[in-house]
């Protein structure tokens, strides 16, 4: 059911904040790396703390008398696999961060927007419309500016890190496609909890010494709490509350707060330099997102969407 009047601003704001959570992850990880922790310890801490936070929220809901749902075996397996898929993004993304600035990493990850179009075409065999094609081209142009391929190349960008980050974007596109088809209609907190359990399985495979290697005692959980909250709990809950009340197009545009947040936070917290070309690239990428959603806006107003 779509919200009316002032409610649109409230629900849009929730989705916007969820996107902001994704945007600050790179800066938190960079800070953890600077503190001496390995990226495997950070991603394992993210999954562990994210699952713990979901369990805490779930426990509160039980105390308030809410009845938990009982997933079928197929739903349970699907949610656990979805969690492993989701966490593959974190593994690839965090492995790439030592080889590039956080702002550039955020931009490369954002390429899931046009990669999602490709995944959709392959899965549904539906050719993209002209707005989707224009969006993909626009986003690629913006990526070239931000990454430094056009103009001065930012310092500290390694080719291997670019490859890992683009792989993370591809997995993210697949995850978003599958996410819309797994345990649809379930409560966001309970669904997210099971997804986090699946993430934990992969996390402890990546970092089997998480509990015995001393990282917990040295304080990696401080970063894990922020990563788990920003990258798992907050987006899942806020998107679950906000997106049912606004159009899909508006939700996607509001969630694109991830990109400017990532660039701005990395500049303010990490002191990374942002050139005028990179800033222009960010604006161009956001324009690409808007272009892709033009048909959705036309449909929401009762107009026929062009092909």
pLDDT, tens only, 70-94: 888 888 899 899 888 888 988 898 8
The answer on pLDDT for 239 being more than 90 is no
Cα separations (Å) of 202 from 143, 147, 154, 243, 307?
Answer: 30, 30, 32, 28, 41
- How far apart are the C-alpha atoms of 148 and 150, rounded to whole Å? 5
Which residue has 């974190």 as its token pair?
90
Question: Which pLDDT score, from 0 to 100, does residue 150 have?
Answer: 66
Which string of DSSP letters, residue by residue, matches 88-148? HHHHHHHHHGGGS-HHHHHHHHTTHHHHHHHHHHHHH-PPP-HHHHHHHHHHHHHHHHHHT
CB 270 within 8 A of CB 102: yes
- How far apart are the C-alpha atoms of 50 and 111, rounded to whole Å? 25
Per DSSP, the three-state class of 209 is coil
How much is the average pLDDT of 253-278?
Answer: 81
pLDDT, tens only, 157-180: 888 999 999 999 899 888 878 877
Residue 6: pLDDT band with limits 50, 70, 90: very low
pLDDT, tens only, 88-119: 988 898 899 888 887 788 888 878 878 887 88
Residue 5: pLDDT band with limits 50, 70, 90: very low
pLDDT, tens only, 25-37: 889 998 999 999 9
Weakest mean pLDDT among 157-166, 198-207, 230-239, 251-260: 251-260
Question: Which pLDDT score, from 0 to 100, does residue 126 have?
Answer: 79
pLDDT > 90 fraction of the chain, expressed in percent and rounded:
16
Question: Which pLDDT score, from 0 to 100, does residue 4 have?
Answer: 46
This prediction has a pTM of 0.79
- How far apart are the C-alpha atoms of 272 and 5, rounded to whole Å? 40
Per-residue tokens: 133: 């094609």
How much is the average pLDDT of 195-223?
Answer: 90
């Amino acid at each position: 059911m779509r919200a009316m009047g002032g409610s649109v601003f409230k629900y849009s704001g929730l989705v916007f904040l969820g996107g902001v959570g994704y945007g600050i992850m790179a800066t938190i990880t960079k800070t953890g790396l600077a503190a001496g922790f390995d990226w495997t310890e950070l991603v394992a801490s993210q999954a562990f703390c994210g699952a713990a936070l979901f369990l805490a929220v779930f426990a509160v809901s039980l105390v308030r008398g809410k009845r938990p749902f009982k997933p079928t075996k197929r739903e349970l397996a699907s949610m656990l696999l979805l969690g492993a898929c989701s966490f593959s993004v974190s593994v690839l993304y965090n492995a790439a961060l030592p080889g590039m600035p956080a702002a550039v990493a955020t931009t490369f990850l954002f390429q899931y927007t046009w990669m999602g179009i490709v995944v959709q075409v392959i899965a549904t065999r539906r050719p993209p419309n002209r707005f989707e094609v224009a969006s993909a081209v626009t986003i690629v142009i913006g990526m070239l500016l931000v990454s430094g391929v056009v103009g001065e190349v930012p310092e500290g960008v390694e080719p291997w890190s670019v490859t890992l980050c683009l792989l993370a974007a591809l997995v993210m596109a697949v995850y978003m496609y599958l996410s819309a088809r797994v345990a649809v209609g379930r409560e966001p907190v309970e669904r997210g909890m099971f997804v986090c359990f699946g993430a934990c399985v992969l996390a402890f495979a990546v970092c089997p010494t998480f509990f015995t290697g001393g990282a917990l005692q040295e304080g990696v959980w401080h970063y894990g709490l922020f990563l788990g909250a920003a990258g798992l709990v907050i987006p899942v809950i806020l998107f679950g509350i906000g997106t049912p009340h606004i159009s899909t197009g508006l939700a996607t545009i509001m969630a694109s707060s991830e990109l400017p947040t990532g660039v701005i936070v990395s500049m303010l917290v990490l002191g990374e330099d942002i050139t005028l070309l990179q800033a222009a690239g960010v604006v161009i990428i956001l324009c690409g997102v808007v272009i892709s959603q033009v048909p959705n806006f036309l449909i929401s107003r009762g107009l026929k969407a062009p092909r």
